Structure 1
Amino acid sequence: MRIDLHTHSTASDGTDAPDALMREAAEAGLDVVALTDHDTTAGWQAAAKALPPGLTLVCGAELSGRWYGSGPSVGLHLLAYLFDPAYEPLVAELAMVRRSREIRAEKIIALLNADGIDITVPEVSGYAAGGTAGRPHIARALIKRGLVKTVDEAFAPEWLGRRYRLPKTDMDVLTAIRLVGEAGGVSVLAHPRAGSRGHIVPDPLIADLTAAGLWGVEADHMDHTPEDARHVRTLARDLGLRITGSSDYHGENKTVRLGAFTTGPLVYEELLSATTGTAPVRG
C-alpha cells in the first residue's frame, strides 16, 4: 500500500481543489491519502464525494500549535487524524486560529500597501478560493506583480519571512492534543526538524508532548535531511511513538509531489485502531 498522510487543498494553502486533489492522488498511485488542511475541515465533504474507486480518504487537519512553557514559546504543527469534526471545543479553537490568520493577512496587506505595493484583501481572498486567506495567498499576489518568482522567494527575509511577517494566535499544543483525543482522533507531530523553516522542536519537548498524549511523529518529510529522519526515528522508538512519512503536498505552491514520502501499512492499521471520531472514506 502507498499511504500519504499529509496533503493540502484550496481549503487552506494548497492550489488544488479537494476534488481535484483526490483525482491526482489516485493518478499518483496512492491507496490512502489524508487531507490535512491548516486548522480546517472545510475540504472534507468535497474530497469524500470525489473519491475515485480504490482510493481511501483519511480526514484530518494540520493544527497550528504553540508550546507555552518556561522560556520562549515554541511553534509547532500537529497532524490530527480521524477526529469528530463536530466536537465543539475543538471547533471553537480552530475557528479562533483561522480568524487570527485572516486578521494577520489583513495587517500584512496594509504594511505592503504602506510601502506602495497595491495588493488588496479581496484579491488575496480570491486566491484562498473560499478557504482562510494567509501568507501563501499573499505570496501569489506578489508573484502576479513580478516582485518575486516563487512562493519560496516570497517567504525570504526581505518579504514575508521577516520584513512583512506578523504573528498569529496559535492553539496551546497541550490543549490541542487533549481536544483531538477527546474528539476521538490522534495527533502526530509534523516535520519536527524542519530547520529550513526554523521549526526545530527540541527532543525534551517531544518527550513532554508524548507524556501528554502525542501518538506519533513525522520522520520522512521533504524538509528533513536523511540525518534528521534517522534522528526522529530513533527518538520515536525510544518514546514509543508511531513513525509516519508523507509528502506535505501543496500543489503548485511547493515542488514536492504526492507520494514522495509515505507511511507504512502497519502504522496505518494502528491509526485506524486508535481512532473513533470518524471513519476513513473508501472510494
Structure 2
Amino acid sequence: MRIDLHTHSTASDGTDTPDDLVRRAAAAGLDVVALTDHDTTAGWPPAVAAVPPGLTLVRGAELSGRWYRSEPSVGLHLLAYLFDPSYDPMVAELARVRRSRDIRAENVVALLNADDIDITLPEVRGYAAGGTVGRPHIARALVGRGLVGSVDEAFAPEWLGSRYRLPKADMDVLTAIRLVNEAGGVSVLAHPRAGSRGHIVPDDLIADLAVAGLWGVEAGHVDHSPEDREHVRLLARDLGLRATGSSDYHGDNKTVRLGAFTTDPAVYEDLVAGATGVAPVHG
C-alpha cells in the first residue's frame, strides 16, 4: 500500500481542487490519501464525492499551533485526522484561526501598499478561491503582477519571508491536541525538523506533547534530511509515538509530488483504529 497522509487543496493553499486532488492521488498510484488543508474542513465534502474506485480518503486538517510556554513561543503545525468536524469547540477554534489569517492578509497587503507595491486584497482572495487565505495566495498575487518570478521567490527575506511577514493568532498546541482527542481524532506533529523554513521543534517539547496526548510525528517529509528522518523515527520510538511519512503536496505551489514520502501500512492501520470521529472513505 502507498499511503500519503499530508496534502493540500484549494480549500487552503494548494492549487488542485479537492475533487481534482483525489483523482490525481489515484492516478499517482496511491492507495490512501489524506486531505489536510490549513485550519479548515471545507474541502471534505467535494473530496468525498469524488473519491475514485480503489482510493481511500482520510479526512483531516493541518492546525496552526503554537507552544506559548517558552519565550519566544514556538510555532508548529499539527495534523489532525478523522475527527468529528461538528464538534463545537473545534469548530470555534478553526473559525478563530481562519479569521486571524484574513486579518493577517489584510495587514500584509497594507504593508505592501505602503511601499507602493500595488496588489489588492480582492486579488489575494481571488487566488484563495473561497478557501482559507494564506501567504501563498499573497505570493501568487506578487507573481501575477510580475513583481517576483515564482512563489518561492516571493518567500525570500525581502518579501514574505521577513520584510512583509506578520504573525497570526495560532491555537495553543495543548488545546489543539485536547480538542482533536475530544473530537475522536488523532494528532501528528507535522515536519518537526523543517529547518529550511525555520520550523525546528525541540525534542523536549515533543516529549511534552507526547505526555499531552500527541499520537505521532511526521518523519518522512521533503524538508527533512535523511538524518532528520532517522532522528525523528528514533525519537518517536523512544516516546511511544508513531512515525508517519507524507508529501505535503500543494499542487503547483510546491515542487514536491504526491507520494514523495509515505506511511507504513501498519502505522496507518493503528491510526484508523485509534480514531472514532469519522471513518475513512473508500472509493
**TM-score bracket, shorter-length normalisation:** over 0.9
Deviation per CA, 1:210-249: give whole Å up to 9, x if none.
Answer: 0000000000100000010011011000001001000000
SS of residue matched to 2:37 = coil
Where do 5+ consecutive residues of structure 2 fail to align? Answer: none
Does residue 105 of structure 2 align to residue 123 of structure 1?
no
Counterpart-to-counterpart distance in 2, 1:187 and 1:272: 12
Counterpart-to-counterpart distance in 2, 1:61 and 1:53: 23
Counterpart-to-counterpart distance in 1, 2:58 and 2:247: 15
* Within-5 A mapping of 1:186-205: 186-205=186-205
- Runs (4 or more) in structure 1 with deviation over 6 Å come to none
1:113 alignment partner in structure 2? 113
Aligned-residue offset at 1:118: 1.4
1:163 alignment partner in structure 2? 163
State how many pairs are aligned. 283
Counterpart-to-counterpart distance in 2, 1:167 and 1:15: 23
Aligned-residue offset at 1:282: 0.7
- Equivalent AA in structure 2 for residue 56 of structure 1: T
2:226 alignment partner in structure 1? 226
Aligned-residue offset at 1:130: 0.8
2:52 alignment partner in structure 1? 52
Counterpart-to-counterpart distance in 2, 1:28 and 1:134: 26
Counterpart-to-counterpart distance in 1, 2:120 and 2:222: 32
2:39–2:132: 8 Å Cα contact kept in structure 1? no
1:180 alignment partner in structure 2? 180
Aligned-residue offset at 1:163: 0.4
1:4 alignment partner in structure 2? 4
Counterpart-to-counterpart distance in 2, 1:232 and 1:96: 31
1:71 alignment partner in structure 2? 71
Deviation per CA, 1:136-163: give whole Å up to 9, x if none.
Answer: 0010011112211111111110000110
Counterpart-to-counterpart distance in 1, 2:259 and 2:55: 13
CA RMSD across the alignment: 0.6
2:255 alignment partner in structure 1? 255
Counterpart-to-counterpart distance in 2, 1:70 and 1:268: 33
Counterpart-to-counterpart distance in 1, 2:222 and 2:149: 21
- Equivalent AA in structure 2 for residue 142 of structure 1: L
Aligned-residue offset at 1:70: 3.2
TM-score, normalised to structure 2, is 0.99
Deviation per CA, 1:66-120: give whole Å up to 9, x if none.
Answer: 0011321100000000000000001100100000000000110011111111111
Deviation per CA, 1:4-28: give whole Å up to 9, x if none.
Answer: 0000000000000000001100000
Deviation per CA, 1:191-216: give whole Å up to 9, x if none.
Answer: 00000011000000000000000000
2:246–2:262: 8 Å Cα contact kept in structure 1? yes
SS of residue matched to 1:130 = coil
- Equivalent AA in structure 1 for residue 116 of structure 2: G
Counterpart-to-counterpart distance in 1, 2:218 and 2:12: 20
* Within-5 A mapping of 1:34-45: 34-45=34-45
1:28 alignment partner in structure 2? 28
1:101 alignment partner in structure 2? 101
1:82 alignment partner in structure 2? 82
SS of residue matched to 1:271 = helix
Does residue 148 of structure 2 align to residue 148 of structure 1?
yes
SS of residue matched to 2:217 = strand
SS of residue matched to 1:58 = strand
Counterpart-to-counterpart distance in 1, 2:255 and 2:70: 37
1:239 alignment partner in structure 2? 239
1:213 alignment partner in structure 2? 213
TM-score, normalised to structure 1, is 0.99
SS of residue matched to 1:160 = helix
